[in-house]
Amino acid sequence: MYYSPNVPDYQAEMWAGALTGGRIDYHPLWPVDENTTPKEVQSLLARMFVQGPKVQTAVNAYLVNTGRQLVLIDAGAAKLFGPSLGYVVDNLKAAGYDPAQVDVVLITHLHGDHVNGLVADGKPVFPNAEIWSAQADTDFWLNPEVAAKAPKDAQPFFKMAQDAAAPYQKAGRWKSFKADEEIVPGIASVAAPGHTPGHSGYLLASGDRKLLIWGDIVHNHAVQFVRPQVAIEFDVDKKQAVATRKKLLARVAKEKLMVAGMHLPFPGIGHVRAEGKGYAWVPVEFGPIRD
C-alpha cells in the first residue's frame, strides 16, 4: 500500500509520500562492534520490544512531487534479496503512477537494496528518468578497477550496482553530482559519507518547511539512536559513518527537522529528540490514502 504521513503538504506545490519496498530479516547481533557488546544490543532490542532470533528492517523509498517533476528517492531491492522485498514499483502503481511518469530518480547510495529496483531483466524500469548518484559513489561502485581489487565477498555488491546503472549509462541518463548541490528545484543533496564513499541524503524544502531524507544514517532504530557510535558491517568506512551519524543526529535534533530513513520502521518519517547521551526516535502518525 501507499501511505502519506500526516506531515505538512509543502504548501501544496510539493508533497512527499513513503513507498514500502518490503522488509529484510537479519540476525540482531550484526551491529555489534568495538563500541558495544552482544549483551547491550540484546538489552536495547528488548527495550524496544524487538525479539529475535532474527529481526526485520524496512526498505523504504520516497516519492516526491515537486509541482514540476515526479521524483523517486531510491528504487528498492527488487527480488534479488528474496521474496519479502521488491515492492517499490508495485506500490508506486498502487499510488496511481506509472514508472514511465518518473522524471528523476535520486539514489542515496549504490547498495543493491537501493538500486536493484532500477532494472528488470536488464532493462530500465524508469525509461524516461534521469538517475542521479553522488560522484564519489559512481567512481567507487561503477569503476571496474576498484571492483577488481575488492574482497571476493564484496564482488556481488559491485556487480549489482553496475548492472543497475548499465542501461541508464547506455542511454545517457546516468548523472552524477559532487556534494551538497540542488539537483532539482526544491531538492538538494546532503553529503553523508561513510556508509559508502558518496552516501547522500536529500533535503526537500518548500517555503519554511523542510524534510531530510537521510538514506542509511540509521539501520537499527533500537540500537543506533541510543548508541550512535555503533557502526555496522556494511559501512565502507566505519569511523566516518559514525562521525556522519553523530553530526546529522545533532543537527536534526537541534533544528527539529523532520527526517525520513530507508531502514526506519515504515513509513520511516519522524523527528529525532536528544535524550541522555544519545537520541530518541519520534515517528509521525500516518494513515492510508484511500480513493
| Average confidence score pLDDT of the chain | 89
Cell numbers 567512481 label which residue?
139
What are residue 205's DSSP bridge partners? 210
* pLDDT in the model for residue 42: 79
pLDDT, tens only, 48-77: 887 766 778 899 999 999 989 999 999 999
pLDDT, tens only, 262-289: 999 999 999 999 999 999 999 998 766 5
CATH number at residue 241: 3.60.15.10
- pLDDT of 151 strictly over 50: yes
pLDDT, tens only, 10-26: 334 688 899 999 988 77
Q: What pTM was computed for the model?
A: 0.91
Domain range for 279: 2-288
Q: Work out how many domains the chain is built from and give that number.
A: 1
DSSP the chain: -EEEES---GGGT-EEEEEEEEEEEE-TTTT--TT--HHHHHHHHHHTT---SSEEEEEEEEEEE-SS-EEEE----TTTT-TTB--HHHHHHHTT--GGG--EEE-S---HHHHGGGEETTEESSTT-EEEEEHHHHHHHT-HHHHHHS-GGGHHHHHHHHHHHHHHHHTT-EEEE-SS-EEETTEEEEE-TTSSTT-EEEEEEETTEEEEE-SSS-S-HHHHTT-TT---TT-SSHHHHHHHHHHHHHHHHHHT-EEE-TTSSTT-EEEEEEETTEEEEEEPPEEE---
Q: How confident is the model at residue 46 (pLDDT cuts 50, 70, 90)?
A: confident
- How far from 216 is each of 101, 130, 153, 244, CA to CA, in Å? 26, 22, 21, 11
More confident residue, 39 or 76: 76
